[in-house]
Amino acid sequence: MYQLINGKEVSEKVLEQIRQEVIQLKQAGKKTPHLAAVLVGNDPASMAYVNSKIKTCERVGVTSTFVKFETDVTEQTLLSKIEELNNDIDVDGYIVQLPLPKHIAEQKIIEAIKPSKDVDGFHPVNVGKLVLNLPTYISATPYGIIQLLEYYKIPTQGKHCVVIGRSNIVGTPMSILMAKNTQYANCTVTLCHSKTENLKQYTLAADIIIAAIGKPNYVTADMVKQGATVIDVGINRIPSTETKSGFKLVGDVLFDEVAPKCAYITPVPGGVGLMTIASLLKNTLLAAKKEIYK
Known catalytic residues?
53, 97, 120
**278: Cβ–Cβ under 8 A, 6 or more apart, which residues?**
10, 11, 14, 15, 18, 56, 144, 147
Q: Are 206 and 231 in contact (CB under 8 A)?
A: no
Residues in the chain: 294
Distance CA 276, CA 24 (A): 24
236-239 and 247-250 as β-strands: parallel, antiparallel, unpaired? Answer: antiparallel
* Residue 194: other Cβ atoms inside 10 A: 11
Peptide bond into 135 cis (omega under 30): no
Task: Write phi, then psi, for 137 (nearest 5 degrees).
Answer: -85, 120
Region of 283 on the Ramachandran plot (φ > 0 left; ψ -120 to 50 alpha; else beta): alpha
Q: Show the CA angle centred on residue 254, arms to residues 189 and 100, nearest 5°.
A: 70
